[in-house]
Structure 1
Amino acid sequence: MTQPTPPLDEILATFATGTLIDRMGIRLVEATPEHLVGTMPVEGNTQVAGFLHGGASCVLAETLGSVGAFLHVWPGGLALGTDINATHHRSVRSGIVTGVATAITLGRTLTSHEVVISDEEGRRLCTARITNYVRAAEPGPSTS
């Protein structure tokens, strides 16, 4: 299913403009169906006590896994998140966090990615797994 990966700026334009990804300051650094890297600032994504919000970690993880799934069926395919789970190991109050998503499986109808989120010192903050339902693009009408 996987086609050549589009340029990163095209991916960003497809996913980020005017979305939660944009509002949370998530940036893609690398993006292929098999391996994705993204960053997110802690500032603006904290809970009441001033720590990185666990839901913000889930948004970063789901963003990376969903982009990977979408790229797996690029161009014109569909990717919809069906399951996410996360274990929060520690927290952080400032800086930039980095998520690294690695494909577990890239199938015909399901993809799964493991996402490890770390702080600037490389300490693991969160481990998440996201599963997406994927569907390849429907073939266009025949011209013959």
Structure 2
Amino acid sequence: MELAEKTGARMLLRTANRSQNSLRRLNGAISALKFGGHYGSPYDLNPVDRLTKIEHLDEAGLTRMAQRVASGDSNLWCREYESGVSDDPENHVMEQDLYQWTADTGSYPEEQIAIGFENGLPVTVDGRTMDLGAVITSSIIAWGNSARTL
């Protein structure tokens, strides 16, 4: 949104289609930030099924994208996957290369941190008031030092 405002953009385009969770998250965020222009996706009203997308990606030479086993979204707080291998609940085995942010240390202490929220924004960690950057940094450091639960 900052870049759109700086450059005077009157339109924001994204590639999510109406069957993807990211469509609602992106539209909701753009709306909440009160973008004054048009926004959306060329796939919004005419979604392309997964097999057709894979064929088109392969034809365009984007074979790595065509060979993905799942569709994923990442942000500062999490990484989630959908589609592909997770579409079959009878054979739900996630590929190990999807686990890029975690490692099995074999040790999981029963330790917790508490993140406090006001109006949907994180503002405290273990009762200490912090700005958003400090909340994120301290949470990452805490998670890096040992396995912790929120």
TM-score by length of 1: 0.23
Flag the structure with larger Rg. 2
Higher share in strand = 1
Higher RCO (CA-CA < 8 Å; seq separation 6+) = 1
TM-score normalised by structure 2 residue count: 0.22
